[in-house]
Amino acid sequence: MNRPIDIIAIERYARQLRAEEMQRLQGVFAERLGLLAVLLGGTLLSLLEALSERLRPLFSWNPQHRRVAGLVREQ
């Protein structure tokens, strides 16, 4: 009972399995890329908040409104 090997069917099945695996890997990659983007966004937001706190005193100083002994000195 020697049946011939159906090479065409085997190749077709192998291509189908390969396509399914490629789709699965693409989904895993997309999921991890999305997670990485969320983490990177959070990190950048934290960095910008820290930077804004460091720079805020530089831009909030106003020499026109000096307080001398609790009084505002107008010039």
Structure confidence at residue 69 (pLDDT): 54
Q: What is the pTM of this model?
A: 0.58
Structure confidence at residue 67 (pLDDT): 61
Tens-level pLDDT at each residue, the chain (75 residues)? 688 889 999 999 999 999 999 999 999 999 999 999 999 999 999 999 999 999 988 888 777 766 655 555 555
Region of residue 69 (phi > 0: left; psi between -120 and 50: alpha; otherwise: beta): left
Do the beta carbons of residue 75 and residue 64 sit within 8 Å?
A: yes
Structure confidence at residue 68 (pLDDT): 56
Do the beta carbons of residue 65 and residue 72 sit within 8 Å?
A: yes
